[in-house]
Amino acid sequence: MQIQINTDRNVEGHEKFSHQVETKIKDVLNRFSKHITRIEVHISDENSDKGGMNDKRCLMEARMEGRQPIAVTHQATNLSLAVHGAVDKLKNLIEGTLGRLDNH
């Protein structure tokens, strides 16, 4: 499972933050790793330095073997919450998708 992390120009993509994001994704989605070929993460700060409520956004797209890509997005007051929300949504979506396949 490859993980690619992209940030917009308003987010400082520090190595430490990227490593934290990658670790969180691996911790939550590891059990699905044989089904997932790649995960793309897009992190942005929509209001830049102006601030605002829920202006941090994390979009995650999972590419699964033999299936169309699936994507989720989550907005929050800080980058960490945006990432955690998105990875939880992605986990639920993958569980639902693979669960439906197991039932057929």
The three-class DSSP label of residue 98 is helix
CA dist., res. 75 & res. 82, Å (int): 5
pLDDT tens digits along 47-83: 766 666 778 999 999 999 888 999 999 999 989 999 9
pTM: 0.86
CA dist., res. 84 & res. 1, Å (int): 19
Average pLDDT of the segment spanning 24-28: 95
- Domain ranges for the chain, please list them: 2-103
Beta-carbon-side half-sphere exposure of residue 81 (alpha carbons within 13 Å): 9
Q: Which residues, 6+ apart, have CB-to-CB distance to 76 below 8 Å? A: 54, 56, 58, 82, 85
CATH of domain 2-103: 3.30.160.100
